[in-house]
């Protein structure tokens, strides 16, 4: 998966299209990412013990990785790979060639 934890991404489709956020967690086996402030759902939660309060909370849900694009220097697009002379692998933005 070409999107990793800590990357800035832009949502390109769905109800939150156009929003940008930071990837909090990536799930490569499922092909989804958890983006800060995107795809927020309401969850009714029971109180657990005496210290935790119950009620309706907002919870971020994972979004498919195909619905997000990487943002580098205020430009978004697809991610590719590039190798240097020593064989080290870098992620680049394919449209501009900028390194991530």
Write down the pTM of the prediction: 0.83
Residue 40: its pLDDT value, please?
94
User: Is 54 among the domain residues?
Assistant: yes
pLDDT tens digits, residue range 30-65? 999 999 999 999 999 988 888 888 899 999 999 999
Give the whole-angstrom CA distance, residue 66 versus residue 34. 13
Q: Say what the alpha-carbon torsion angle 98, 22, 80, 84 is, to the nearest 10 degrees.
A: 60
> What domain count does the chain have?
1
SS3 assignment, position 66: helix
Q: Report CA-CA distances (Å) from 18 to 54, 57, 67, 71.
A: 32, 24, 11, 12
Structural domain includes residue 25? yes
Whether 87 is covered by a domain: the verdict is no
Return the pLDDT at 98: 84
Domain membership flag for residue 88: no
Domain range enclosing 29:
8-71
How much of the chain exceeds pLDDT 70, in percent?
Answer: 100
């Amino acid at each position: 998966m070409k999107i990793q934890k800590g990357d800035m991404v832009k949502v390109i489709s769905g109800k939150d299209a156009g929003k940008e956020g930071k990837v909090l967690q990536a799930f490569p086996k499922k092909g989804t990412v958890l983006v800060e402030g995107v795809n927020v759902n309401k969850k009714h939660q029971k109180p657990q013990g005496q210290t935790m309060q119950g009620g309706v909370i907002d919870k971020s849900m994972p979004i498919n990785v195909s619905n997000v694009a990487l943002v580098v220097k205020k430009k978004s697009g697809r991610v590719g790979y590039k190798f240097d002379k020593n064989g080290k692998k870098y992620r680049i933005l394919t449209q501009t060639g900028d390194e991530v």
